Amino acid sequence: MLSLNEALDRARSLVTAARKAGADAADAVYGCDASFGVTVRLGALEDVEQSESEHFGLRVFVGQRSASVSSSDLTPRTLETLVERAVAMAREAPEDAYAGLAPEQMLMRRRLPSLDIEDDEEPTPAQLRERALAAEDSARSVLGVTNSEGAGAGFSRAQAALATSHGFSGAYAGTSHSLYASVLAGEGAAMQRDFASHSARHLDDLEGPDSIGQRAGARAVSRLNARRVPSGTMPVIFDPRVGNSLIGHLLGAIAGPSVTRKATFLLDSLGQRILPEGLSVIDDPLRERGLRSRPFDGEGLPTGRRRLIDDGVLTGWMLDSASARQLGLDPTGHATRGGGSPGVGASNVHLEGGTASVRDLFADVKRGVFITELIGQGVNGVTGDYSRGASGFLIENGTVSHAVSEITIAGNLKEMFGRIIAANDLTFRRAINVPTLRIDGMTVAGE
């Protein structure tokens, strides 16, 4: 793995070489991921994995023509070939009126903010094994748990560097500690499985193995004797671990490329209320120790906290430079980068403004479902039509009843967003965080 300084030096060298080879502009990105993990099952070591990958990506512009190439071979000769190939490809590419680097006047010039996303403490394989065993032991100790799919603990370190021909260069690194347990309850065809997991930038923020194991076991046992429910229109309440997927669909709908292609159900919703009054969706890439925190975006623009939805109103799109030019707007610092051209993505996102207690969300539900697992990908991003398999629990007269499975919940996302009721139990433990959510009037297909 290259050091950050070494990666940045090579990125700058690639950009300089591309300019000398005839490119009018260029940028180079370096990415590295190194990880190792341990899995156990039934108290015995099952697997130890270690991986490391590095790559450079080079994007060059010749007039309005561009090309992107990447390589995991970092030898000087290969990188020389990379430059030659990229410039040759760009000369033959079709013209694109929206191609180009990010606006120079918007580049990040200040010192990179301290986000505290890198942990100096790196666990040993023995420590990971001990952690995984403790999580599985805790899960298997739950009454009703009959088998295990295993538990695992891992550690990873990622590094990124970016250099552009018009004046930006920067690099940063981040770490991640993870832990999970997955167990089964019951016997035979009635057996049910569930899991619990957690990831954190720093080890001292990682949930303990006993807590993860207990939650995994309790979840599996609670799903025993699941039944289907009669079909109908009813309130649906989403556990936070699945409710965040709704905000994920919203983020996809306001991404610049979806808007420029007119492939979003929110196309005509800019400046309009799409969530109930009082609810806001916040994107905060500068959150300390955030799972997706980043000091700059994939094009060298500064990142910053944005209210994507403010008091229920859609305030703007998430834009990289290309989609911004197509829409006649400024990029918003949401460019993401792998080895090729930039994409668009959010960072640490949360839904805030919920005021109801979780008890209040359930209290007046005569008949509904509490969803803890979603299955399948039945979402149409163009129309907003939503239909997904689900499992969870029946709600009767405000009380959670027996487990339910093999049901489908359906609606239209635009209408669903307008009916969201949010609880006040927001916690920050994922990349997208939401409180418990309730949506009335959804179609539930069961028996």
For the chain, what is the largest distance between any 2 Cα atoms, rounded to a whole number of angstroms? Answer: 73
307 in Cβ contact with 295 (< 8 Å): no
Residue 135 and residue 148: Cα distance in Å, rounded?
11
Residue 197 structure tokens? 């997991």
Q: Is the CB of residue 115 less than 8 Å from the CB of residue 290? A: yes
Which residues of the chain have a pLDDT value below 50? none
Q: Where in the chain is the domain with CATH 3.30.2290.10?
A: 4-34+47-106
**Distance between CA atoms of residues 276 and 269, nearest Å:** 14
Token representation of residue 141: 């100790």
Q: In whole angstroms, what is the distance from residue 415 CA to residue 47 CA?
A: 46
Q: What gap in Å lies between CA 180 and CA 433, rounded to an integer?
A: 19
Could you write out the DSSP letters of every residue in 277-310?
TT-EEEE-TT-TT-TT--SB-TTSPBP--EEEEE
Q: Are 421 and 438 in contact (CB under 8 A)?
A: yes
Structure tokens at 435: 């409180």
List phi, psi (to 5°) of 282: -110, 135
- Give the Cα separation of 275 and 270 in Å (integer): 12
Q: What is the CATH number of domain 4-34+47-106?
A: 3.30.2290.10
Number of H helices, E strands in the chain: 9, 19
Identity of the amino acid at 373: E
What's the pLDDT tens digit per position in 15-52?
999 999 999 999 999 999 999 999 999 999 999 999 99
pTM: 0.95
pLDDT tens for residues 93-126?
A: 999 999 999 999 999 998 999 999 999 989 999 9
Q: Do residues 361 and 370 touch, judged by C-beta distance below 8 A?
A: no
